[in-house]
């Protein structure tokens, strides 16, 4: 942890928990019903995971960590299969949820290029919308704006950085979800009506619109990625059990 520049916050309840246990911890401390449901979904995804001393676990840091754009609220480290969340930054529970999505999706995207390409198509559709007059007007009205390297910057557009962040923000960031709900989807409505989409759409001012938007389409794809991860974890768990029988 010293090499990572992390000083563990050993008194934080989720420090050292497995991904499934950390999701359960988050569900019990969720700030609203939507976040609770999302944490519970992550708990289901990691139910069959087999963590060891460090991998497959979440650790809390007393301090913020360095990143290319400043201090980071959290990290998922694929090579270690480890999540680190900074208690020094705002809203560690949302950060925990965001990083757990990375843990459930990053490896799958790297292994399945067709799946990764489908995320790229969605992300680029959102990018294109953000440069339309309608998109620019919505962003200026609804998203807080700051500057980065002297250029205007919307922090809540972080999900457009790459495919990994797109999935994490789609699942974990309510502000990003609101923006996606503004962009119509041309997919058949019946293919978008998952249990999770229906539940989350109720929080929007226009639920029917949200259920036929890129929010629904992106959430369905995010769910598919995580379900594939859950299946892989189940097979890996079964194989490990076979070796010890």
pLDDT at position 68: 41
d(CA 73, CA 228): 27
pLDDT at position 90: 74
pLDDT at position 65: 66
d(CA 180, CA 188): 17
Q: Structure tokens of 90? A: 């705002």
pLDDT at position 154: 81
The H or E element containing residue 226 is helix 214-244
d(CA 161, CA 142): 19
pLDDT at position 204: 93
Contact 96/14 with Cβ under 8 angstroms?
A: yes
Rounded to the nearest angstrom, the gap between the alpha carbon of residue 37 and the centroid of all alpha carbons in its chain is 13
Residues of the chain with pLDDT under 50: 68-69, 238-245
Helix (H, G, I), strand (E, B) or coil at 60: strand
pLDDT at position 67: 53
Q: What are phi and psi of 70, to 5 degrees?
A: 125, -145
pLDDT at position 6: 84
CA distances for 24 relative to 44, 203, 211, angstroms: 10, 22, 27
pLDDT at position 244: 37
Q: pTM of the prediction?
A: 0.89
d(CA 98, CA 23): 11
Beta strands (DSSP E) in the chain are 57-61, 65-67, 70-72, 74-77, 82-86, 146-148, 151-153
Beta strands (DSSP E) in 120-201 are 146-148, 151-153
pLDDT at position 202: 93
pLDDT at position 66: 62
Which residue in 55, 67, 102, 65 sits closest to 87, CA to CA? 65
Rounded to the nearest angstrom, the gap between the alpha carbon of residue 226 and the centroid of all alpha carbons in its chain is 10
DSSP 67-105: ETTEEESEEEETTTTEEEEETTSS-HHHHHHHHHHHHHH
């Amino acid at each position: 942890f010293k090499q990572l520049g992390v000083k563990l916050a050993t008194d934080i309840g989720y420090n050292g928990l497995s991904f499934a246990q950390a999701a359960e911890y988050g569900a019990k401390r969720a700030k609203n019903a939507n976040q609770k449901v999302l944490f519970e979904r992550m708990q289901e995804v990691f139910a069959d995971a087999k963590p060891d001393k460090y991998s497959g676990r979440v650790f809390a840091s007393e301090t913020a960590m360095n990143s290319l754009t400043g201090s980071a609220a959290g990290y998922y480290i694929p090579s270690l299969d480890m999540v680190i969340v900074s208690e020094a930054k705002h809203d560690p529970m949302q950060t925990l949820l965001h990083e757990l999505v990375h843990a459930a999706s990053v490896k799958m995207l790297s292994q399945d290029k067709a799946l990764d390409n489908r995320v790229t198509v969605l992300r680029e559709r959102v990018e294109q919308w953000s440069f339309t007059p309608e998109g620019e007007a919505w962003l200026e009205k609804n998203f807080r704006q700051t500057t980065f390297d002297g250029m205007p910057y919307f922090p809540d557009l972080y999900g457009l950085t790459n495919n990994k962040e797109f999935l994490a923000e789609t699942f974990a960031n309510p502000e990003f979800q609101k923006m996606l709900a503004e962009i119509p989807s041309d997919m058949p409505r019946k293919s978008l009506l998952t249990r999770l989409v229906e539940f989350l759409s109720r929080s929007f001012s226009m639920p029917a619109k949200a259920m036929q938007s890129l929010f629904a389409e992106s959430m369905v794809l995010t769910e598919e990625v995580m379900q594939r991860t859950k299946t892989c974890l189940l097979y890996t768990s079964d194989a490990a059990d076979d070796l010890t029988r």
